[in-house]
Amino acid sequence: MRRRALGRCPVCGEALDVTRLSCPRCETSIEGRFETCKFCQLSNEQKDFVEIFIKSRGNIKEVERELGVSYPTVRGRLDAIIQALGYPVEREKEDEAQTAARRKGILDSLAKGEIHAEEAIKLLKQR
């Protein structure tokens, strides 16, 4: 059984370096410092979201349905992934009703156990 490779250190959160590659067929091993892809740095939860997002062809309504979460939650998770990949997130000016709806969606997701408290805090701090 193969496990997913970690992208971040479980102790300090820093990006991990890949230092050894091996062939399962001939058992050749190569050691050195290898660059990982940006997606490898995402959390497992974020990777799962990206997979669902791609499978849904970017249709946010489909992602909402599949995950059973609200639009603000999908947008918040997508924005967090965009930032984790190193890209800026351009935010539209939200009026008070949109802000309240976004926050409610985050808190609903937290209450349902769909996101962890740390992720909720990050999402709530975002504008």
* 8 Å CB contact between 116 and 125: no
Beta partners for residue 8, in sequence order = 15
Within its chain, how far is the Cα of 101 from the centroid?
21
| Gap between the Cα atoms of 85 and 19, Å rounded | 22
DSSP string, 36-98: PPGGGGS-HHHHHHHHHHHHTTT-HHHHHHHHT--HHHHHHHHHHHHHHTT-----PPP-HHH
Question: Residue 117's domain spans which residues?
Answer: 42-125
Is there a domain that residue 55 lies in? yes
Is there a domain that residue 53 lies in? yes
Predicted confidence at residue 95, as pLDDT, reads 63
pLDDT digits (tens, 9 = 90+) for 6-56: 777 888 888 788 889 899 899 999 999 987 788 888 888 999 999 999 999
Is there a domain that residue 15 lies in? no
pLDDT digits (tens, 9 = 90+) for 33-46: 987 788 888 888 99
**Greater confidence, 58 or 97?**
58
**Greater confidence, 1 or 107?**
107
Predicted confidence at residue 41, as pLDDT, reads 80
Predicted confidence at residue 67, as pLDDT, reads 93
Q: How many domains does the chain have?
A: 1
Is the dihedral angle over the CA atoms 77, 78, 81, 87 positive or is it negative?
negative
Q: Which two tokens stand for residue 45?
A: 């939860």
Predicted confidence at residue 48, as pLDDT, reads 93
| Residues near 113 by beta carbon (within 8 Å), at least 6 away in sequence | none
pLDDT digits (tens, 9 = 90+) for 96-106: 677 788 888 89
Is there a domain that residue 50 lies in? yes
